[in-house]
């Protein structure tokens, strides 16, 4: 084994022995289960979710034009993701796992606003029904 290979091996062993840092809140955006589907927004940076606690209204702000007509949204609390159902019958993933700070505000059946913005000004928007996905019940043979 060459000297370079020995040094590299020792560095790998040292790195493996060091404790890893706890997960950060940033990791909460993770892909997670169910993200293999087509996404409405390709990147979590393409949209923002704002929850008005006092007014009880929630918003999704985005910059790019949507290439579909949204019928309704469905929040799945089990996997913390939102499915987007279009009037054409397509189903998209919103594009990110919902962060823990926002989850309580999206955990009820409601209407929210999806608003397109440019340079901090709203251009257009729609009001969309957000449904809550019911937990799947295991079927038994009794």
Structure tokens at 101: 């700070």
pLDDT at 79: 94
Contact 94, 82 (CB under 8 A): yes
pLDDT at 24: 42
pLDDT string in tens for the chain (142-residue length) = 677 777 777 666 665 554 444 444 444 444 444 456 789 988 888 999 999 988 889 999 999 988 899 999 999 999 999 999 999 999 999 999 999 999 999 999 999 999 999 998 999 999 999 999 998 777 777 6
pLDDT at 12: 66
Q: E strands within the chain?
A: 47-52, 57-62, 70-76, 81-86, 91-93, 110-118, 121-132
Contact 112, 102 (CB under 8 A): no
């Amino acid at each position: 084994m060459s000297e370079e290979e020995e040094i590299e091996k020792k560095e790998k062993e040292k790195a493996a022995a060091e404790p890893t840092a706890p997960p950060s809140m940033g990791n909460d955006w993770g892909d997670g289960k169910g993200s293999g589907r087509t996404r409405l927004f390709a990147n979590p940076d393409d949209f923002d979710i704002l929850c008005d606690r006092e007014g009880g209204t929630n918003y999704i702000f985005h910059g790019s034009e949507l290439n579909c007509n949204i019928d309704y949204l469905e929040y799945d609390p089990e996997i913390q993701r939102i499915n987007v159902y279009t009037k054409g019958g397509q189903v998209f993933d919103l594009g990110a796992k919902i962060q823990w700070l926002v989850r309580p505000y999206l955990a009820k059946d409601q209407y929210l606003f999806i608003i397109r913005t440019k340079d901090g000004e709203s251009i257009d928007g729609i009001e969309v029904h957000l449904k809550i996905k019911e937990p799947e019940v295991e079927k038994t043979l009794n």
